[in-house]
Amino acid sequence: MTVSVTGATGFIGRRLVQRLHADNHHIRVLTRSRSKAQLIFPDKDFPGVIIAEEPEWKDCIHGSNAVVNLAGFPISTRWSSEIKKEIKQSRIRVTSKVVDLINSSQDEDRPTVLVSATAVGYYGTSETQVFDEQSPSGNDYLAEVCREWEATALEVNKDVRLALIRIGVVLGKDGGALAKMVPLFMMFAGGPLGSGKQWFSWIHLDDLVNLIYEALSNPSYKGVINGTAPNPVRLAEMCEQLGNVMGRPSWLPVPDFALKAVLGEGASVVNFLISPYFLFLVFSLIKLL
């Protein structure tokens, strides 16, 4: 199969490309930066992988069997109004481009499937409600981002099978949320933020890659699919387990008011994904008070 992938240079994309390459699929990496992608996928380790910057995306998508769309500006930063705009616009911009290129292809060149990322942020947050694929969208900023992101993907030609994966927090060794949490625990500074009661809907990186892989070829993977493990845990439990595994304590929670004072709006949704240095500063300040 020939698969074009946006966001291939990211945490999830890198593992997906490794998996597809190991199984002898043809991969086209759609990136903003050829030099960055070449460092991640050097020719000697990834022979045959095509790396394409935006003007060449058309030639890659036309003739691919499938497209995986993972690109987007990282959400794990302190949100300014500019950053918030880019979090949303980057996803809509890339998805819209991908959809336009798929739709403008001739029938014989058109990919048959688009697997497009979105997030469980679609549902908003709640300490009491259970969300499944039929649940309504939330009313915070990330929910709005996810709704518009999904709506853009839904513009794809109706003959193309669309799988929208609402991804939970992805856990893997080489990046994502764990890469931000582990250094804090190493420094004896880890612990849940806020009440600790927030639900943590997680998925292991390999399970997510398996899910995307299956969605590429299995026609029953259509529409919205939650990309999460069946059993979410409370953030406090996640931190406790991480502390246990690492032989480190999970300290008392940092109170909500302090988080909000420092993080503003982003506190309610990205409180375990913020920069470790920033977090370390917050922890240190709180402990000094």
Residues lying near ligand NDP in the complex (CB under 6 A): 7, 9-13, 31-33, 36-37, 70-74, 86, 90, 94, 117, 119, 167, 169-170, 176-177
Cβ proximity to ligand NDP: between 169 and 258 the closer is 169
β-pairing verdict for 26-30 and 50-52: parallel
Measured from each CB, the residue nearest to ligand NDP is 10
The minimum distance between CB 288 and ligand NDP, in angstroms, equals 31
Residue with tokens 């939330």: 138
Q: How far apart are CA 28 and CA 44, in angstroms?
A: 16
Q: Which of 5, 45, 15, 11 has the alpha carbon at shortest distance from 180?
A: 11
Sequence-separated (6 or more) residues with CB below 8 Å from residue 159: 110, 112
**Minimum distance of ligand NDP from residue 142's CB (angstroms):** 9
CB of 289 to ligand NDP, least distance (A): 31
Whether the Cβ atoms of residue 5 and residue 68 lie closer than 8 Å to each other:
yes
The minimum distance between CB 166 and ligand NDP, in angstroms, equals: 8
Name the residue nearer to ligand NDP (CB basis): 3 or 258: 3
Which residue lies nearer to ligand NDP by CB, 35 or 231?
35
Enter the DSSP assignment of 251: P
The H-assigned helical ranges of the chain are 11-22, 34-40, 57-61, 81-103, 141-153, 176-186, 205-217, 235-246, 256-263, 267-270, 276-288
Least Å from the CB of residue 153 to ligand NDP: 12
Residue with Cβ nearer ligand NDP (242 or 258): 242
> In degrees rounded to 5, what are phi and psi of residue 60?
-80, -45
- Of 161, 167, 162, 138, the C-alpha closest to 151 is 162
We find the least distance from the C-beta atom of residue 286 to ligand NDP, in angstroms, to be 25
For residue 275 the two structure tokens come to 């920069």
The upper half-sphere exposure of residue 142, i.e. CA atoms within 13 Å in the direction of its Cβ, equals 23
DSSP state of 107: G
Q: Which is nearer to ligand NDP, 110 or 180 (CB)?
A: 180
Among residues 152 and 251, whose Cβ is nearest to ligand NDP?
152
What separation in angstroms does the CA of 77 have from each of 5, 45, 145, 271?
24, 32, 16, 10
- Min dist CB 117 to ligand NDP, Å, is 4
Nearer to ligand NDP, 110 or 138 (CB): 138
Residue 235 CA to residue 88 CA, distance in Å, equals: 26
Nearer to ligand NDP, 168 or 196 (CB): 168
Length of the chain (residues)? 289
- For the bound state, the minimum distance from the C-beta of residue 108 to ligand NDP, rounded and expressed in Å, comes to 28
Helix (H, G, I), strand (E, B) or coil at 75: coil
